[in-house]
Amino acid sequence: MKVWSSSSLTDIISQNQRLLASYISESYLPESNFRVAIIGGGPKGSYAIERLASVWNTHCPGKFLDIVCFNLSADFGSGPNYQTRQPDFLLMNYNLGKVDFWTDEPEQLVFDRPDLREFLERFKNESEMEVDAEDYCSRAITGVYLQYCLCKVIDALPPNIRLHLVVDEVKSISEISDSLMLDTGSGMHFGFSEVMCCTGHSYRFGKEYDTRNSVKKISDVSPLNQTVYPAENLQKKDLKGKVVAIKGMGLTFVDAVLALTEGKGGVFKRENGSLRYMASGKEPSEILPFCRTGLPMIARKEDFNSADFSLRFFTEETVQYLLSKHDKLDFKLHLLPFIQREFRFQYVVHLLRFRCSKNIQPEKTLPELELYASGIYPDFEPFDLEEFLSPELPALDFHNAVVNYLRQTVFPENCNEMHQSKIAMSALWRKINPILNTVYSFGKLTGESQRYFDQHFYGRFQRVSFGPPKENMEKILALAEVGLLQFDLANKPKVSIKNQSTDVILSHKQASISKSAVTLIDARIPKSGGLATQPEYIKKLVLQMKASFFVNEKYKTGCLEIDQSGRLKKQKQICFYGTPTEGWTLDNESLSRANNNFLSPWANQISKNYVNIKDSKVNTNYPLLDQGANS
Ligand SMILES: Cc1cc2nc3c(=O)[nH]c(=O)nc-3n(C[C@H](O)[C@H](O)[C@H](O)COP(=O)(O)OP(=O)(O)OC[C@H]3O[C@@H](n4cnc5c(N)ncnc54)[C@H](O)[C@@H]3O)c2cc1C
């Protein structure tokens, strides 16, 4: 497996940026009477531009359309997460063969539509080896690819579709007669017939998070508090020889640790098959991560091979059957037993493959297979999902327990067959998740069980299934082995502040340890949890436009009340796509175009609804007086 970085590419970055720059401005003057605004110009905002332009070009040829995309920065296409200038040690968390900007729908504006693998094959330096779909790449490379695709869309735009990329923050959306007005940092923009919101991760931490976390809140402006992104800030901050604490042990924690080590000139070298860290001398003396469980993520495991894998218990048919019998499903009562049995089944089948050369007979029941396995493996126990999701590590020597856990999850091949099969089950949730999404979406779970799933299962499944590439967890292991990373206070320590703002103290009564750090890096990504956590424009939709939150029975999901195509229930001209729809849908925080695709119906609806609009350009002498026309 190779990991691709920006240095493998020819100079496509500046080519993209020259083209984007000619479309980017800080203001917008309308050019046509029919206008659609897209808030957020990251990956999903760019997908929205692509879909709308493709559908409009097919169904409304020659008709004038202004597409205005607002974004906080000039990083259109990439957004902040795939920003092209970020360091190459920040990696994608799955292999590059999975990234594709395009869809296969009939309406297409762009005919040459490479996926990321094909793009890299075209633009890699001549000396580079062949690109394999299983390879990984940096997030910066993905950003270059996303911008390249956006440029392809721009290149293909016919003269009647005008695209404006505006660097500006949308602060509110309001309604004037039958059109929408956007209030942005630079002023008011009138006459939009539709607004699509693709603002991704734009939440803040609210009270809910701090009380649940049991970690004493440190003011956001305290010098002790440090965010992870942009990672360059962490790289530049002088932390040489100091002790640093990191709150959160997920993907962002890995990025933070790499910024504090590789980002400061340290080098990972492979010697006799394992990674060794060569310090630069500029890194902290000790990094102390912690979270509510103290458990690191499991390195991403290979997907199951579709040729010899199928679900037996938690299948689409099971879910459809359950939905036909109940108005709403209870996660614990109706779904969890099937999920548990699926884990048991796949585990025993995986295990038996070590010893049975022939395929496992399909007619065998789960108890029969387990009985058979216990004949071969005297220590065999059926798969225990709860133990897999939340293993109990000994409290007394927690650092070494975590290091062992890392070794066993990064290199399961060095352990026995039962352990290897257990860790391989980390890929199973990725097969179950899309089916669960069909039940989770649109409030089909009971409110109480949606809450139960969100709070007790979602994060734990993320930990075991959606971890970073093995390469990165190997680096974490190497740093822990030399003691630069210390996990002895990782499991829910007490956090307090000494001398107002000079030191953070982490302590553990049970282990009788206490350590003080000069900086606390917050490596969590805030989620939507009610009004206080929302970006300004959503707060105003609630406070001024009477938008409400989706409350499933009594459970407040944190998502606005939208319909099954993402449109706000109280204002159908405003639509949401991606992260802001989480709670109403599941798993939207990815680059996938297939998951919860609200874009295609949105674009089709626009072209259908507005096919008879008055087809004229605006009066360019008085563009700002024009209020738009959607007769
Ligand atoms: C650090 C990090 C790493 C990730 N890595 C992966 C990965 O490897 N693979 C994966 O599939 N997913 C990953 N994700 C998940 C990520 O959410 C998606 O991959 C992807 O970025 C979602 O795209 P988006 O356009 O919905 O949101 P974003 O990429 O967050 O883009 C939203 C855009 O909206 C703009 N915006 C927000 N509010 C406003 C406003 N009021 N006015 C104007 N503009 C606004 C922002 O500037 C931003 O450019 C990662 C997420 C994070 C945080």
CA-nearest residue for atom 19, ligand 1, is 590
505 and 578: one domain? no
Sign of CA dihedral 110, 114, 119, 122: negative
Average pLDDT, the chain: 91
Which of the listed residues 150, 199, 252, 430 should we mutate to test ligand 1's pocket, taking the one with most ligand atoms within 8 A of CB? 199
**Residue 38, SS3?**
strand
Task: State the distance from the centre of ligand 1 to the C-alpha of 50, rounded, in angstroms.
Answer: 17
* Separation of alpha carbons 574 and 35, rounded Å: 13
Q: In the chain, how many H helices and how many E strands? A: 19, 23
Strand residue runs (E) in 455-592 = 494-498, 503-508, 513-517, 519-522, 549-552, 555-560, 567-568, 571-576
Residues with CB under 6 A from ligand 1: 39-45, 70-73, 79-81, 92-93, 169-170, 198-202, 252, 525, 535, 537, 578-579, 589-591
Lookup: tokens for 409:
């999850």
Give a yes or no: residue 400 inside a domain: no
Task: Specify the ligand 1 atom closest to the Cα of 169.
Answer: 42
- What pLDDT does 404 receive? 97
Residues 234 and 227 sit within 8 Å (Cβ to Cβ) = no
**Closest ligand 1 atom to Cα of 46:** 25
Give the model's pLDDT for residue 614: 59
User: Using an 8 Å Cβ cutoff, are 39 and 177 in contact?
Assistant: no
Is the same domain home to 15 and 92? yes
- The best mutation among 44, 46, 50, 81 to test binding of ligand 1, ranked by most ligand atoms within 8 Å of the C-beta, falls on 81
Q: Whose CA is nearest to atom 8 of ligand 1?
A: 92
Residue in the structure block whose two tokens are 């175009």: 593
CB 505 within 8 A of CB 516: yes
Backbone dihedral region of 281: left (phi > 0), alpha (psi from -120 to 50 degrees) or beta? left
| Cβ neighbours for 503, distance < 8 A, ≥ 6 positions apart | 224, 497, 516, 517, 518
Amino acid at the residue 594:
A
The string of pLDDT tens digits covering residues 386-401 is 999 999 999 889 999 9
**Residue 209 scores a pLDDT above 70:** no
544-573 pLDDT, tens digit each:
999 999 999 999 999 999 999 999 998 999
**High-pLDDT (> 70) share of the chain, %:** 93
- What is the pLDDT confidence band of residue 626, given thresholds at 50, 70 and 90? very low
Amino acid at site 19: L
Q: State which of 522, 557, 588 marks the end of a domain.
A: 522
> 527 falls in which pLDDT band (50, 70, 90)?
confident
pLDDT above 60 (res 178): yes
Instruction: Find the range with the poorest average confidence among 116-120, 176-180, 477-481.
Output: 176-180
State how far the Cα of 222 lies from the Cα of 93, in Å rounded to an integer: 31
Q: Which residue CA neighbors atom 31 of ligand 1 most closely?
A: 42
The number of domains in the chain is: 3
Pocket test for ligand 1, best of 233, 539, 589, 593 (most atoms within 8 A of CB): 589
Q: Which one of 78, 182, 201, 522 would you pick to mutate in the ligand 1 pocket, going by the greatest count of ligand atoms within 8 A of its CB?
A: 201
Same domain, 62 and 194: yes
Residues 217 and 193 in one domain: no
Instruction: Please give the helix or strand (H or E) that residue 83 lies within, else none.
Output: none
- What is the per-residue pLDDT for 174? 95
Ligand 1 atom index nearest CA of 139? 8
Which residue's CA is the closest to the ligand 1 atom numbered 47?
72
Q: Does residue 448 surpass a pLDDT of 50? A: yes
The atom number, within ligand 1, closest to the CA of 45 reads 25
Q: What does the pLDDT look like over 243-272, one tens digit per residue?
A: 999 999 999 999 999 999 999 999 999 998
Specify whether the CB–CB gap between 196 and 173 falls below 8 A: no
Lowest pLDDT segment from 92-101, 114-123, 210-219, 476-485: 210-219
- pLDDT bucket at 499, cuts 50 / 70 / 90: low
| CA 393–ligand 1 middle distance (angstroms) | 34
397: in domain: no
DSSP assigned state of 593:
S
- Compute the distance between CA of residue 487 and CA of residue 400 in angstroms, rounded to an integer: 8
Q: Closest Cα partner for 100 from 139, 52, 50, 149?
A: 149
- CA distance to 78, 91, 424, 435, per residue, from 136 (Å): 17, 7, 19, 26
Measured between alpha carbons, how far is 138 from 3 in angstroms, rounded to an integer?
7
For the chain, how many residues are written? 631
Which of 558, 321, 378 minimizes the C-alpha distance to 548?
558
Q: Which domain holds residue 586?
A: 3-204+529-625
The C-alpha atoms of residue 303 and residue 424 are separated, in whole angstroms, by 9
Residue nearest to atom 10 of ligand 1 (CA): 590
pLDDT of residue 208: 44
| Beta pairing, strands 274-278 & 286-290 | unpaired
Residues 516 and 554 in one domain: no
94 in the same domain as 152: yes
135-149, 392-406, 471-485, 612-626, range with the lowest pLDDT? 612-626
Distance 75 CA to ligand 1 centre (A): 11
**In this structure, are 518 and 533 located in the same domain?**
no
The stretches of 441-492 forming alpha helices (DSSP H) are 447-453, 459-465, 470-481
In a domain, 439, yes or no: yes
DSSP-derived secondary structure for 48-72: HHHHHHHHHHHHSTT--EEEEEEES
8 A C-beta contact, residue 249 and residue 295: yes
Residue 584 lies in a domain: yes
Within this chain, do residues 244 and 186 fall inside the same structural domain, yes or no? no
Q: Which two tokens stand for residue 403?
A: 């290091």
Within this chain, do residues 236 and 268 fall inside the same structural domain, yes or no?
A: yes
Coil, strand or helix at 87: coil
Q: What was the pLDDT predicted at 169?
A: 96
Residue nearest to atom 18 of ligand 1 (CA): 590
Give the Cα separation of 75 and 86 in Å (integer): 12
- For β-strands 513-517 and 503-508, DSSP reports them as antiparallel
Distance CA 334, CA 271 (A): 50
Encoded tokens for 261: 């080590």
pLDDT, tens digit (0-9, with 9 covering 90-100), for 111-161: 999 999 999 999 999 888 999 999 999 999 999 999 999 999 999 999 999
Mean pLDDT score, 330-336: 98
Residue 62 CA, ligand 1 centroid: distance in Å: 33
pLDDT digits (tens, 9 = 90+) for 284-302: 999 999 999 999 999 999 8
Burial track 359-396 (b if 16+ CB lie within 10 A, e otherwise): ebeeeeebeebbebbeeebeeeebbebeebbeeebeee
Average pLDDT over residues 422-445: 96
DSSP state of 370: H
Ligand 1, atom nearest to 201 Cα: 30
For position 221, what pLDDT does the model report?
A: 46
Read off the pLDDT of each residue in 599-607 and give the average, rounded to a whole number. 95
CATH number at residue 559: 3.50.50.60
Sequence-distant (6+) residues with CB within 8 A of 611 are 59, 60, 63
Q: What is residue 612's predicted lDDT score, i.e. its pLDDT?
A: 63
Q: Which atom of ligand 1 is nearest to the CA of 579?
A: 26
The more confidently predicted of residues 624 and 130 is 130
| Minimum-distance ligand 1 atom for the alpha carbon of 76 | 49
Question: Does any domain span residue 43?
Answer: yes
CA 590 to ligand 1 center in whole angstroms: 8
Q: How far is the CA of 542 from the centre of ligand 1 (A)?
A: 23
CATH, residue 249: 3.50.50
DSSP class of residue 386 equals H
Is 104 within the bounds of a domain?
yes
Asked whether residue 322 falls in the same domain as residue 428, the answer is yes
Asked whether residue 630 is assigned to any structural domain, the reply reads no
Residue 399 lies in a domain: no
Q: Are residues 142 and 261 in the same domain?
A: no
98, 221: one domain: no
522 bridge partner residues: 227, 247
Side-chain half-sphere CA neighbours of 415 within 13 A: 17
Which DSSP category does 174 fall into? E
Residue owning the nearest CA to atom 17 of ligand 1: 589
Residue 593 alpha carbon to ligand 1 centre in Å: 14
Side by side, the strands of the sheet bearing 243-247 are 225-227, 519-522, 243-247, 286-290
Q: Which atom of ligand 1 is nearest to the CA of 40?
A: 34
Alpha carbon of 238 to ligand 1 centroid (Å): 28
